[in-house]
Amino acid sequence: MPILTALLLAAAPPPATPKIRSPGDAVKAARAADWAEIPADELMVMDLANGKRVVIQLAPIFAPVHVANLKIMARAGYWGRATVYRVVDNWVTQWGLGDGPFKSPPGVIDRPPEEYQRSARGLTLTPMGSPDPYSSMAAYTEGWPVAKQPGGIVNAAYCYGTVGVARDAAPDTGNGSELFTVIGATARRLDRNYALVGRVIEGMEYLSALPRGTADMGVYAKDQSPLAITSVRIAADMPAGQRPRFEYLKSGSPAFADYVQLASHRRDYGVPSPGADLCAVPVPVRKVGVKS
């Protein structure tokens, strides 16, 4: 080989390696039409005494009676004396009035039905594509991760950040006066056993990073200070210019399918995985500006 040719070959840059896309790339590439805004009457805004704010997206398609109770309580100022009083490591953070005394506001149904699962009728399910040990099919609908059960039944899945209703032993179903959010990796054993009423979409760190309770069952001991809740409001009741606004990636959109495929295998990590747990592929949610 001539010396000049050898030198030119040595100086040539190596062929470009195709970029391996990440789930974030799919989300960034999503079009405006791929996103859907969460209605203001499905956002519950909880302000804490330490100045922090937590925003919860409510889930009326899974627990309409329980969610209706939450709205009544919020509008009645029910949680004005409530606190975050229980934090269990790798499990839940819980808030409410504790042992009371309390009386439900007028209109609250104190013994709601068991809203732990529902018919799939009227729902469009987008399969996730990975096996699910808790159901016959892991899927998404209306922006929520769900599990399809035999007989045309679905339930929302208890993943990180999910908000559920605390209750006593069955047949009690809880009326929503005591709530908890999952701060562990997953809590799928609660599926179809506790009413799932929403998920934290902003401020999760203010609930997951609290000191753990040292008394029985993670309740704060006498030498620990519960975190007071200063207000709980429904965003639709707030002045338009002060309402938080959020969008979720539509589960039926091409961008969502692309995102789920990438997030289920993570080739961008190096060695791809054959699939993923439903809770490991959360629905993307983003905050948007306030309309003028």
Position 8 scores a pLDDT of 52
292 confidence band (pLDDT: 50, 70, 90) = very low
290 confidence band (pLDDT: 50, 70, 90) = low
For 93-111, what is each residue's pLDDT tens digit?
A: 999 998 766 788 999 999 9
Q: What is the mean pLDDT of residues 216-237?
A: 97
The pLDDT of residue 5 is above 60: no
Position 186 scores a pLDDT of 81
3 confidence band (pLDDT: 50, 70, 90) = low
Q: Where are the alpha helices (DSSP H) in the chain?
A: 3-11, 23-29, 64-75, 205-208, 254-265
Give which of 92, 107, 76, 53 is closest to 230, Cα–Cα.
Answer: 53
Q: Is 92 helix (H, G, I), strand (E, B) or coil?
A: strand
For residue 110, the Cα-to-chain-centroid distance in whole angstroms is 25
All domains in the chain, ordered by first residue: 23-101+109-288 (2.40.100.10)
The pLDDT of residue 250 is above 90: yes
12 confidence band (pLDDT: 50, 70, 90) = low
- Predicted TM-score of the model (pTM): 0.92
For a pLDDT cut of 90, what percent of the chain falls above it?
86
Strand partners, 56: 44, 200
Token pair in block for residue 283: 């629905």
For 27-41, what is each residue's pLDDT tens digit?
A: 999 999 999 999 999
CA distances (Å), 24 to each of 27, 29, 259, in order? 5, 9, 8
Q: What is the mean pLDDT of residues 35-57?
A: 98
The pLDDT of residue 195 is above 60: yes
Position 289 scores a pLDDT of 83
Q: What is the mean pLDDT of residues 252-270?
A: 96
62 confidence band (pLDDT: 50, 70, 90) = very high
Average pLDDT over the chain, rounded to whole? 93
Cβ-based neighbours of 20, under 8 Å, separated by 6 or more: 267, 268
Amino acid found at 118: R
For 142-191, what is each residue's pLDDT tens digit?
A: 999 999 999 999 999 999 999 999 999 988 999 999 999 999 988 999 99
Residues in the chain, how many? 292
